[in-house]
Chains A and B, each alone.
Chain A
Amino acid sequence: MDTFLVLILSFISIVVVNNLVLTKFLGICPFLGVSGRIDMAFGMGMAVTFVVTLSGTITWMIDHWVLMEWGLEVTRYVCFILVIAGAVQLVEMYLRKFFPTLYESFGIFLPLITTNCAILGLCLFINLWEINSLVEAVVLSFGAGVGFTLAICIMAGIRENLELSDVPAALRGAPITLITAGILTLAFMGFAGMIK
């Protein structure tokens, strides 16, 4: 029961309290790029959730069972990025073969994900927070994806309304998105300290 509670807490923590986009500045590029329409944003969020869960789990396993056993921590970054690139490629091939409709809807997002900082960032943070159980690592990876989807969908919802409002000419486009994101981080700061 206790471990279950710990898992739920770490899930909530990564989704809202330590939201990767709004408190750690990870995955800002897609956050600004594809948050124009809410269905696109949701598609991107799903794709990221998929890849981040997979790569977070695999990197944890490699880190703990191979790199730390053999004292190869120095090659950690190289291994992590190769795992992520490989995971993206695998997911792409798998989807194209077995779920062509899903592949169509993910479309251009998949190759973009390799350079999404949220994914490598999460793998590094799992290592930094010294997560010692595989289950917790899986939950954290999945939660990070959910948190990313949450943030990007909220942003897309706001931007759809923003199109109708009268924004000063100089701030149109990226600047007003950034400022909105800033105000959004203030809202998410309210969650800080919720979980100890």
Chain B
Amino acid sequence: MTKISNISKLSETFSAGLWKENPVLRLLLGMCPTLAVTAAVKPALTMSVCVIFVLTCSNIVVSLMRNLLKPHLRILMFTLTIATFVTIADLFLKAFMPEMSTKLGPYIPLIIVNCIIIGRAEACASKNGIMISIVDALGMGLGFTIALCTLASVRELLSTGKIFEFIVMPKFFVPWAAMSMPVGAFVTLGLILGLMNVITRKNA
């Protein structure tokens, strides 16, 4: 009996991150990387993988030491944990994907101040056991990935006529350079959020 309720709770936590509490599209967290790295799908995907890695690791560590935390040193511990894993992710990127590392530049270390990660450490991992924390991290990370990839594919398609560097648009398509500039990021995200509002209103 308890096992079933456990599983249903896990799946609920997992799916919350995908749609109902999608960190980017619903909670408006982690906007900096969302806007900055979505000029194309590939950097967006790399960024998402890094965020999932850091989020999972930090959630595990925070969940393990949740009973030892002192209230006023809590935030300091969170940032220390996150910064460590971000450094590791950055080193791995530099070693195995040097092109991508120079392209993403300072936005990889900026994962440290991504509100999603510190928010999940505070709201979930410091209160729950290790299983729920992991599942929560994966769900939230996947929700972040979905949001980033949607935005990136729209922008890459309109700005270059390609998706994932494959040409998909017909020959007469004129690339829309503005989409890969900052203005493209802001306006596309604004329109996607508007679309989300329309969908939820219809369902309600």
Q: Do chains A and B touch in the complex (CB under 8 A)?
A: yes
Residues of A at the B interface (CB closer than 8 Å) are 22-29, 32, 74-75, 77-78, 80-82, 85, 114-117, 119-121, 124-125, 128, 168-172, 174-179, 181-183, 185-186, 189
Using C-beta atoms within 8 Å of the partner chain, give the interface range for chain B. Answer: 35 or more
Whether A174 pairs with B28 at a CB distance below 8 angstroms is yes
Known pairs A77-B90, A189-B181; A25 contacts B32 (CB<8 A): yes
Chain A residues near B91: list those with CB within 8 A: 74
Chain B residues near A24: list those with CB within 8 A: 36
A22, A25, A119, A169: residue with the most chain B Cβ atoms closer than 10 Å: A25
Is B4 part of the binding interface, using a Cβ–Cβ cutoff of 8 Å?
A: no
Known pairs A24-B36, A124-B106; A175 contacts B112 (CB<8 A): no
Q: How many A-B residue pairs have CB under 8 A?
A: 122
Known pairs A85-B76, A114-B75, A120-B109; A74 contacts B87 (CB<8 A): yes
Q: Which of A25, A78, A172, A176 contacts B36 (CB 8 A)?
A: A25
A27 to B198, CA, bound (A): 28
B168 to chain A, nearest CB (A): 25
Which chain B residue shows the least CB distance to A86? B76
A107 to B191, CA, bound (A): 33
Whether B32 pairs with A78 at a CB distance below 8 angstroms is no
Residues of B at the A interface (CB closer than 8 Å) are 28-29, 31-32, 35-36, 75-76, 79-80, 83-84, 86-87, 90-91, 105-106, 109-110, 112-115, 118, 181-187, 189-191, 193-195, 197-198, 201
Which chain A residue shows the least CB distance to B193? A175
Which chain B residue shows the least CB distance to A179? B190
Whether A117 pairs with B84 at a CB distance below 8 angstroms is no
A124 to B84, CA, bound (A): 16
What are 25 A-B residue pairs whose CB atoms fall within 8 Å in the complex? A25-B35, A27-B32, A28-B35, A29-B28, A29-B32, A81-B80, A82-B76, A82-B83, A85-B75, A114-B79, A115-B113, A117-B32, A117-B113, A120-B112, A121-B106, A121-B110, A128-B106, A170-B197, A175-B194, A179-B186, A181-B186, A182-B187, A185-B181, A185-B182, A189-B183
